[in-house]
Structure 1
């Protein structure tokens, strides 16, 4: 097994932060990305609070423990660090988390309706419809636990009036899921402008075993 490279992991987080801006998933200082450190028990890398991605360097990525205490890094972690930690505690299968604030996923969060299986890639990546977490302030552990209850074993959840959170076994998969959800959310919105009964896919009946 290849040893975990902390420097490379920090750079990978930054790369996906910049890609989230390129894809229109984030803006200003919105959103956050984190990664579980596999070689160290209860250690996590996460983006810092209140720092624009295009001003960020890999060295700005913060290393925290399970209590959100900074172990290494020049900044405080994201204000939503406890939400990430709740996910890692509740979902041992999760290695990476991407929180973005994309427009079309947010439309469904404002409406309060799940993003149904419009596109097959979303259904595969998310394991079905994307549920909506009712609005609440998101800078606390209670929100993280309630959100995990809503998300269950799926790989995505929309925060009502706020944004989207996706998870994966690695950053690439978590980010791919964010992109897939936003694409499906956009298609679904257009489809619903034509018909109130668009054709959607059901993860359970498809019998999909394809990996991300």
Structure 2
């Protein structure tokens, strides 16, 4: 499959550059290191096509051309490298959640702290609650490079926009890559605040999404 067969008004080269930009931002913001994490988007206007970061390649060595195109069965359609080893996890989300057009998996420290403790990341900050639509649950530990993990993760996440993989990392979703990434940053910030708050009190003040009455993201 060539790029010209995709939707005429979809700039696949620009989309690849955007994905790489957010990969580099994830390192800048301290969300990822080494070759950890992965990012994908749903190709608009084309059924069963997705762009995703390749496997085992450092972000600062990655080029836009290294981003690969796959189908919903996690099969490589276009690209010189293989897709992320967690591609099946992304595909499970896209199949389960038609509202999701972008996914960011990262491994931020404070989110992982709560994953290790096994305690949800609560609504300590309003921006996190708005983006995630509730407290961020912790999925019990499983190896992540298989379809079953993806299904179990979707069960844990439900209709929320974030979930922590115990002893592993954070996954956030959104209608576009910008919102999915903003959600990752918001969750990590709230996780850090929660850690500091718990050092001062066992009952920090938390917000509930259903009672906020907010319909738009900040």
Give yes or no for TM over 0.5: yes
* Larger mean Cα displacement after TM superposition, 60-69 or 1-10: 1-10
Match of 2:3 in 1: none
Match of 2:191 in 1: 185
Deviation at 1:18, TM superposition (A): 0.3
Deviation at 1:39, TM superposition (A): 2.2
Paired positions, count: 212
TM-score by length of structure 1 reads 0.98
Structure 2 Cα separation of the partners of residues 153 and 178 of structure 1: 16
Deviation at 1:40, TM superposition (A): 1.4
1:158-177 equivalent positions in 2, closer than 5 A: 158-177=164-183
Q: 1:104 is paired with a residue of what secondary structure?
A: helix
Q: 1:178 is paired with a residue of what secondary structure?
A: helix
Match of 1:106 in 2: 112
Q: 1:192 to 1:173 in 2, by over 3 A?
A: same
Alpha carbon RMSD of aligned pairs, Å?
Answer: 1.1
Q: Deviations for 1:106-157, whole angstroms, at most 9, x for unmatched residues?
A: 0000000000000000000000100001100000111001100110000000
Aligned: 1:28 with 2:28: no
Q: 2:82 is paired with a residue of what secondary structure?
A: coil
Structure 2 Cα separation of the partners of residues 198 and 163 of structure 1: 24
Aligned: 1:145 with 2:151: yes
Structure 2 Cα separation of the partners of residues 65 and 204 of structure 1: 36
TM-score by length of structure 2 reads 0.95
Which sections of structure 2, spanning at least 5 residues, go unmatched? 1-6
Runs of 4+ in 1 over 4 A off after TM superposition: none
